Amino acid sequence: MFVHNVFFWLKEKENEEAQKALFDGLKKLEAIESIKSVYIGTPASTRRPVIDASYDFAEVMIFDDEAGHDVYQVHPLHKKFIEDCAHLWEKVVIYDVEA
């Protein structure tokens, strides 16, 4: 299993239109065939010193393997997402995990 964890920090954190645009863009990625499961959300309410809740949105994608992830990276829907939404975020951090 290959788990692709992506964390987004919006340029305009309080802008509801920007929040909706990013969420809608992330939802469109679910149509990519190599993705087995997708989870999109915002920081949970848990607060402890070890938790970084400074991001605005996170997307967790599950693939069968790294090859499935590689298909996703070059998929036209992924490229379109970046083209349409990159102006919304100031920072992206990715953690890939093999399980």
With contact defined as beta carbons under 8 Å apart, do 5 and 69 qualify?
Answer: no
Percent of the chain whose pLDDT exceeds 90: 100
With contact defined as beta carbons under 8 Å apart, do 9 and 55 qualify?
Answer: yes
Q: Could you tell me the two tokens for 93?
A: 């951090």
Percent of the chain whose pLDDT exceeds 70: 100
Each residue's pLDDT tens digit, 37-64: 999 999 999 999 999 999 999 999 999 9
Mean pLDDT of the chain: 97
pLDDT at 8: 98
**Torsion angle of C-alpha atoms 94, 39, 85, 24, degrees rounded to 10:** -170
Q: Which domains does the chain have, with CATH numbers?
A: 8-43+54-98 (3.30.70.100)
How much is the pTM? 0.94
